[in-house]
Amino acid sequence: MKVAIVGGGPSAFYVASRLLSRMTDARLRVHVFDRLWAPHGLVRYGVAPDHPEVKNCTNKFDQVAADARFRFYGNVNVGTPPPPGMAQTVQLGLEDLQKHYSHLVFATGCTLPALHTALVNSPWCMPALGFVHWYTQHPSAPPPPALDTLTHVALIGNGNVALDIARILLTPPLVLEKYDVPQPVLEVLRRSTVRHVDIIARRGPINAAFTAKELRELINLPDASMRPIDPELLVPPDTASRQQTRILQLLGQGSRNTFGSTPKTWVLDFFKSPIGIEPPSPGEYQPRLQLTHTSVDTHGRAVPQTPAPPLPTSLVIPSLGFRAEPAARFFDPALGHLRAQAGRVLDEEGRVVRNVYASGWAANGAKGVLATTMMDAYAVADVVCADVGVDIEAGVSVDVSETQMYPEFMMNPAPADDLPPLQVRDGAAARVVTYPDWQRVDAEEVRRGELVGKERERMRWEEAEAFLWGDGVSRTT
């Protein structure tokens, strides 16, 4: 059995971990391909830098990579066009994986931002994903926001990502500099003139998408304060959960600093939704975010009501979630992710595609936290085991009837060897990053960070390339 996993984030590593632990066969091979040169996906390029505890899962991933049956191949793009700024990736078609692997798992996540129709293509907008990719130094290398020309930022959406961005903008760089914040990012933040952040939510506090932990961090910022919220909005209904009640209590307490007593301020503005952006008037330097009041109907949907006063702002950052790439095989536009049921990928007619699976956000959409992803990945790996007849208790493979699935997208039932496709293992120009390569980079980043008193100092691709292959010779294993 030879498994290819496309994507190198937490879902991929958890699937690999489960397969390797459930199957004792020494001939099993699990190969992970990621178009990013560094592994771990959103753990490296999505988690806010001041949340280092969330990254502890990489210790588990290191253990997975130590299994002799596992291989990681970074800087390898599979099946879709490479994103902007990543043309250096080695290109693989799905047909290459079909030839070399008996099973395929998509763990590709949701890599594109969900867009607001009223804000598309506005020069005053920057998607939240682009902002996050900037401060995590994602290989797509988005340009830095011109924070030294901005005074006011409006965030659309009130999930954890929106609060992460607000916290980065409102936290003193002196506090952030000990964390995993790249030096170029710190330099931009030190020049920032942002003094106020609006967080706009289309529904009310009881429907808040952020967690109590994220809110607590924001209200306790040393140099920022929150505008008080109307107490009438904070009365918990009888149906409120413990989490909802706690969030309402925290909102009622407000920030530890009195509003207006700090250099920076922020607002949670509920029951509002954007309807467009009006360019600056002559003599003005800020556009105006056009808003409407909203209400929540009996189905829990936000419904536009009367116009709200326009909001002058320097930059609008929509933070409305993520979706998978439409160019991906088996993508369903109605779902925004791959077609899958109980971990098994489906074709357009709803039939199970033999030996092809999907896990995590790729299969379910962008929802849930790391623990959710782990449990889903384990469940998908167990489905793979069941489909090949593995007795999970004994770890023994048995024959499974060929009639259980439809062979619409054929994998190779008997791969010839345990090597990756030729494009990955051959050619001096192929800059493929293995897990031992990554561990060398990881250790060097930590060493560089220690020199300046921080968690790590990240490398860009060009730096990692020079560090790994300064002799100009590429290698893979």
**One domain, residues 151 and 293:** yes
**One domain, residues 124 and 45:** no
Annotated binding-site residue numbers for NADP(+): 158-161, 202-203, 214, 368
- Give the CATH number for residue 305: 3.50.50.60
Q: Are strands 352-358 and 103-106 parallel, antiparallel or unpaired?
A: parallel
Residue 7 to residue 39: CA distance in whole angstroms? 9
Residues in CB range of 50: below 8 A, 6 or more apart: 167, 168, 171, 175, 176, 179, 217
Residue recorded with tokens 């100092």: 457
pLDDT tens per residue across span 261-275: 999 999 999 999 999
**One domain, residues 449 and 353:** yes
Confidence category of residue 351, pLDDT binned at 50, 70, 90: confident
Task: Tell me which of 187-201, 218-232, 420-434 is least confident.
Answer: 420-434
What pLDDT, on the 0 to 100 scale, is given for residue 397?
45
What pLDDT, on the 0 to 100 scale, is given for residue 453?
94
Average pLDDT of span 412-429: 81
Q: Which of residues 320, 354, 379 is at a domain's end?
A: 320
pLDDT tens per residue across span 117-157: 889 888 899 999 999 999 999 999 889 999 999 999 999 99
- What are the strands, taking DSSP E only, across 182-235? 196-200, 224-226
Q: Kindly tell me the burial class for residue 118, based on how many C-beta atoms sit within 10 Å of its own C-beta (0-12, 13-18, 19 or more).
A: middle
In a domain, residue 176? The reply is yes
**One domain, residues 88 and 26:** yes
- Give the CATH number for residue 446: 3.40.50.720
Q: Is the sign of the CA dihedral 41, 45, 48, 50 positive or negative? A: positive
In a domain, residue 288? The reply is yes
Confidence category of residue 416, pLDDT binned at 50, 70, 90: confident
What pLDDT, on the 0 to 100 scale, is given for residue 86?
82
Q: Is residue 402 over pLDDT 90? A: no
Residues in CB range of 326: below 8 A, 6 or more apart: 333
**One domain, residues 127 and 51:** no
In a domain, residue 477? The reply is no
What pLDDT, on the 0 to 100 scale, is given for residue 431?
87
DSSP structure class, residue 282 = T
Q: Is residue 408 over pLDDT 70? A: no
**One domain, residues 169 and 277:** yes
What pLDDT, on the 0 to 100 scale, is given for residue 399?
44
Annotated binding-site residue numbers for FAD: 11, 42, 78, 361
In a domain, residue 96? The reply is yes
In a domain, residue 476? The reply is no
Q: Is the sign of the CA dihedral 454, 455, 459, 464 positive or negative? A: positive
Residue recorded with tokens 């009223």: 118
List the structure tokens of 382: 């167990």
pLDDT tens per residue across span 154-185: 999 999 999 999 999 999 999 999 999 999 99
**One domain, residues 273 and 289:** yes
For all residues of the chain together, what is the average pLDDT?
91
List the structure tokens of 115: 């867009």
In a domain, residue 130? The reply is yes
Q: Is residue 328 over pLDDT 70? A: yes
**One domain, residues 181 and 305:** yes
Q: Is residue 473 over pLDDT 80? A: no
**One domain, residues 429 and 452:** yes
3-state SS of 42-90 is: HHHHCCCCCCHHHHHHHHHHHHHHCCCCEEEEECEEECCCCCCCCCCCE
What pLDDT, on the 0 to 100 scale, is given for residue 470?
86
Q: Which domain holds residue 164?
A: 115-320
In a domain, residue 475? The reply is no
pLDDT tens per residue across span 47-97: 999 999 999 999 999 999 999 999 999 999 998 888 777 888 999 999 999
Q: Is residue 404 over pLDDT 80? A: no
Annotated binding-site residue numbers: 11, 42, 78, 158-161, 202-203, 214, 361, 368
Confidence category of residue 299, pLDDT binned at 50, 70, 90: confident
In a domain, residue 17? The reply is yes
Q: Which of residues 289, 320, 351 is at a domain's end?
A: 320
The total number of structural domains that make up the chain: 2
Q: Which of residues 301, 320, 339 is at a domain's end?
A: 320
Percent of the chain with pLDDT over 70: 94
Q: Is residue 255 over pLDDT 70? A: yes
Residue 388 to residue 327: CA distance in whole angstroms? 29
Name the pTM for this structure. 0.92
**One domain, residues 366 and 308:** no
**One domain, residues 313 and 330:** no
**One domain, residues 155 and 273:** yes
Half-sphere exposure of 422 (CA within 13 A, CB side): 3
